Structure 1
């Protein structure tokens, strides 16, 4: 029986649960795919498709277990003394504070941990609702705040170690060889084995409580895991290796992707004879900071941005400070010009997004207030176009240029110095690992869906159970599969529409990326997430992938190969998340609980 007096709180709480899931996709999932996109192993749109599929698979098949920690491990349901209304309000305030903080940070390209943001918010409302003594500050069987925040320091370090170990193995086996290309081709099945085993282990060993796979005996788990990993290894040896050999060693330009189905027959495939035979060309995986298509659109002389538009109002009002801000004007002009060039490129294209951006460009708001009749008419044209741009802009964003920084700006120059300390390996070698990186990215996305779905589904399960029954103890009920499906779909929407804001930071702004480095980062982060999730400990995917990125960057043998300024800013944002999210949630809960009421 649904209690109508709780319906309003349930609706508000559901909204913030969906918003939290949306932010999770725009923040943490974008981190999981940033390395693949920045390494050019996969296009942005392909990453969105793969990310959606594997996020939902991980959440639905594995995600139910980690939800219990946030549901019951921080504030015991007994603390609410059976008051379902207060319990619903507490988790609604926690979701509101966490989602607001993460959205603000995502807007400013600071990828804070949505996991720790929600955990801190739950602790904050716990203090405001039942008192600090009722909050589980200690270990609490691995489910208290002590156990959860232990991962704040351990997870990045562990991920850095795993990432470094995997990349060093690639470096020693392949990159250090006199002829690294054949070594890359022949060793590829081993890394397919590692990636496939990790993915299979996350499904079988963790399992979904509804499937009961985690209750199987150890021999069964080992047999299925190694059997699946070995099967993928065998398939890659039979089909992938001959195809890659023909492309990167024989340089057969006539080979196509569907020839991979020929498998062993490719060994006897004769290379086209004659001087006109096509030579296979692999993609260039080098990091670039300029887009030739954009540069052809215009120059600073043809695309002008008024300095008054980019200067702060205080600077405009104070003529004496104009000279001080001269460097700032130049920087902001460069950024504004680059953005306008990119928008001009989009407006020249075809499709719904190009039409919407042309309409917005040709119909600017006129002088006067918004309620002027002329402006109201323009606004009616702009609103549907703004919705279309908001939904489709991310799919067309220039991720690569934004990741590296605009050429000529202080940030762009800084990243050029960082890249100069990383050795560049042959494109043929990196091309081989680009396929492995796609598999590791899917594994990382699956691991994220398994672990971080608990951020939103845990509180939402509490809200739904209390609203449906009116009993606070209902929060111990299992999470429904449809709840996992809805929130994982919302996570995917966040990735597709707003993930570019984080991708442009996480991509190449920490260290140099390439497919061999990227698959090491992703695999190291995936292993770490799965280990923590196995013990029902929510851990930040953002922290894991950042730690793995730094670990792989240090494998270049030079501290200057890592952008420590960006790493420091990220660590500062992680630390500040704990007091800010907790305080916001606690204040919000305290105000609502103590607000004047009648009746």
Structure 2
């Protein structure tokens, strides 16, 4: 077999690597940003923009370390006996199995770990290709399956512990104070310091080998890390604290967003006279009927913080409840979707045009090759593309997360929310800015860790294709491969991430900016710690463990929806045998198929 005969395997492997990265973004990255969107600290569209930026940075600067483990740690290159074609086929089948399983789960809003899906598929392919004895089942110096699957149990627990500690610090320092608002404002630079330090340390210490930062002396690493974290904290103290002080403590409604550049001058700025005061957004998870007509970051708010718990239950009359109880669960869900689509059909943007085009031009009777249907299909294709690209940006995430009113799930979530203490909006508003930083840190951590899921096998395929030798897979992962798949991950997040985001976040426990920032920071710390030891770990499991950890800080088990947690755990466990079996069967079929010499 000559080198050019590998081209078709390389093309198919590249296609499945892109598909796997897309599914990774739609499943795992969406779960990472669900916390911020659930807390109403950031809109869905803003999350897409920031997620794209920080996923890319994390993947390019740190992502190659976990990629090395996936492409060389599970199946050693020597096991292929210098047969580059078999190695390429093995990793192609692993990508095909993992991406197919994650795609099916994402389509049905089942949250699974793309990390363990691919690892299990690689292990299954290894058994079918070189035999179970050649697969590294043990620890293998931290690179074998034993080390990787150890994170299955450790990561959620460790992440939950970190998140709970961080939130308890916030609770003791801020929430339990008689006047918590000033404490929330003046302690915020600490979280900027922590987030910036974690990001910088992960880049400088054991970052991408291509950057050469891992060869720097210890004093250089310490100086850059502390200097960057301290610099961000100082900048936040100079510009952020005075701005939030003016808006939250002085309640100066005349302060605009761009006035943060005035820095300390805002402390001495005289507030305008009059009865009008600055209001902060309402961070209640389920808002009343009046607030449902306002966008996520509306400046409408409940003036008295004591009124916040009252916003947890929607105002419905007794007759409306009786009418809704006559419908089945599927009918209530269908009605909710219909109301959402009706709203989108009235919009003036490209999405509204596309939905109206699809509605007004249905495919007629007869086969697709009928001239009328072919013409209608040609008219529908541009609209279908627009809907595919933009529908996720307009999905009503908050309604879906808290449960449709009148359904068993909606009632269950009300019971969960009732056991979580609600804090004043002014305090939560201060942490909404902090959560944007922690969300970016979590996204950076995800890019650093999960890019290896797709780029590891693809790098092995590319090395074998370009050199004709399986041993070439030991070479460092090129930065351009990290960049290409990072873009695919972001595309999956932007176009299909809503399908996972709608079932996460508030489905587990009550979210708020102070809680959400603790969850994201705890998960980010855990993911980056595992990344430094080249261990692929599920970011989904980390953020889920962190969510449960913070939920338990409410002091009761009833504040956590353990039914949803149980379903997540079941999906994680089932991923291992299903993805492994799919990969092994695919490889067994292809490698043993009849062929001609």
Q: CA deviation at 1:382?
A: 1.8
Q: CA deviation at 1:290?
A: 7.5
1:465-504 aligned at under 5 Å gives the runs 465-504=463-502
Q: Distance in 2 between matches of 1:44 and 1:291?
A: 21
Q: Which residue of 2 aligns with 1:409?
A: 407
Q: Which residue of 2 aligns with 1:17?
A: 17
Give secondary structure in 2 for the equivalent of 1:425.
Answer: coil
| 8 Å Cα contact 2:281-2:429 kept in structure 1 | yes
Aligned residues: CA RMSD: 1.8
Q: CA deviation at 1:283?
A: 0.4
Q: Which residue of 1 aligns with 2:232?
A: 232
Q: Which residue of 1 aligns with 2:299?
A: none
Listed one character per residue, the Cα deviations across residues 438-477 of structure 1 (whole Å, up to 9, x for unaligned) are 0000001111111111111110011111111111111111
> Is residue 171 of structure 2 the alignment partner of residue 171 of structure 1?
yes
Q: CA deviation at 1:295?
A: 8.1
Q: CA deviation at 1:270?
A: 0.3
Listed one character per residue, the Cα deviations across residues 509-528 of structure 1 (whole Å, up to 9, x for unaligned) are 00000000000000000000
Q: Which residue of 1 aligns with 2:257?
A: 257
Q: Distance in 2 between matches of 1:166 and 1:597?
A: 60
Of 122-131 and 391-400, more deviation after overlay is shown by 391-400
Q: CA deviation at 1:80?
A: 0.4
Q: Which residue of 1 aligns with 2:565?
A: 567
Q: Distance in 2 between matches of 1:479 and 1:292?
A: 53
Equivalent position to 1:542, from 540, 555, 569: 540
Number of equivalenced pairs: 568
Q: Taking structure 1 as reference, are residues 128 and 241 closer, same or farther at Cα in structure 2, changes over 3 Å only?
A: same
Q: Which residue of 2 aligns with 1:391?
A: 389
Q: Which residue of 2 aligns with 1:54?
A: 54
Listed one character per residue, the Cα deviations across residues 63-89 of structure 1 (whole Å, up to 9, x for unaligned) are 112111001000000000000000000
Q: Which residue of 2 aligns with 1:522?
A: 520
Q: CA deviation at 1:327?
A: 8.4
Q: Distance in 1 between matches of 2:545 and 2:154?
A: 10
Q: Which residue of 2 aligns with 1:350?
A: 348
Q: CA deviation at 1:3?
A: 2.2
Give secondary structure in 2 for the equivalent of 1:407.
Answer: coil
Listed one character per residue, the Cα deviations across residues 150-174 of structure 1 (whole Å, up to 9, x for unaligned) are 0000000000000000000000000
Q: CA deviation at 1:265?
A: 0.6
Give secondary structure in 1 for the equivalent of 2:209.
Answer: coil
| 8 Å Cα contact 1:510-1:567 kept in structure 2 | yes
| 8 Å Cα contact 1:289-1:401 kept in structure 2 | no
Q: Distance in 2 between matches of 1:46 and 1:329?
A: 36
Q: Distance in 1 between matches of 2:87 and 2:289?
A: 53
When the two structures are superposed, what TM-score results if normalisation uses the length of structure 1?
0.92
Give secondary structure in 1 for the equivalent of 2:277.
Answer: coil
> Is residue 582 of structure 2 the alignment partner of residue 594 of structure 1?
no
Listed one character per residue, the Cα deviations across residues 118-153 of structure 1 (whole Å, up to 9, x for unaligned) are 000000000000000000000000000000000000
Q: CA deviation at 1:391?
A: 1.1
Q: Which residue of 2 aligns with 1:119?
A: 119
Q: CA deviation at 1:289?
A: 6.6
Q: Which residue of 2 aligns with 1:316?
A: none
| 8 Å Cα contact 2:210-2:476 kept in structure 1 | no
Listed one character per residue, the Cα deviations across residues 194-242 of structure 1 (whole Å, up to 9, x for unaligned) are 1221121111223221222222232322222122111111111111111
1:571-590 aligned at under 5 Å gives the runs 571-590=569-588
> Is residue 273 of structure 2 the alignment partner of residue 273 of structure 1?
yes
Q: Which residue of 2 aligns with 1:303?
A: none
Q: Distance in 2 between matches of 1:569 and 1:120?
A: 20
1:86-105 aligned at under 5 Å gives the runs 86-105=86-105
Q: Distance in 2 between matches of 1:178 and 1:236?
A: 25
| 8 Å Cα contact 1:295-1:341 kept in structure 2 | no
> Is residue 109 of structure 2 the alignment partner of residue 109 of structure 1?
yes
| 8 Å Cα contact 1:403-1:507 kept in structure 2 | yes
Q: Distance in 1 between matches of 2:81 and 2:12?
A: 23
1:24-43 aligned at under 5 Å gives the runs 24-43=24-43
Q: Which residue of 2 aligns with 1:366?
A: 364
Q: CA deviation at 1:292?
A: 6.3
Q: Which residue of 2 aligns with 1:460?
A: 458
| 8 Å Cα contact 1:2-1:468 kept in structure 2 | no
Superposition misfits of 4+ residues, deviation over 6 angstroms = 289-296
Q: Which residue of 1 aligns with 2:73?
A: 73
Listed one character per residue, the Cα deviations across residues 458-503 of structure 1 (whole Å, up to 9, x for unaligned) are 1001111111111111111111111011000000000000000111
When the two structures are superposed, what TM-score results if normalisation uses the length of structure 2?
0.93
Of 396-405 and 83-92, more deviation after overlay is shown by 396-405
Q: Distance in 1 between matches of 2:162 and 2:341?
A: 40
Of 467-476 and 133-142, more deviation after overlay is shown by 467-476
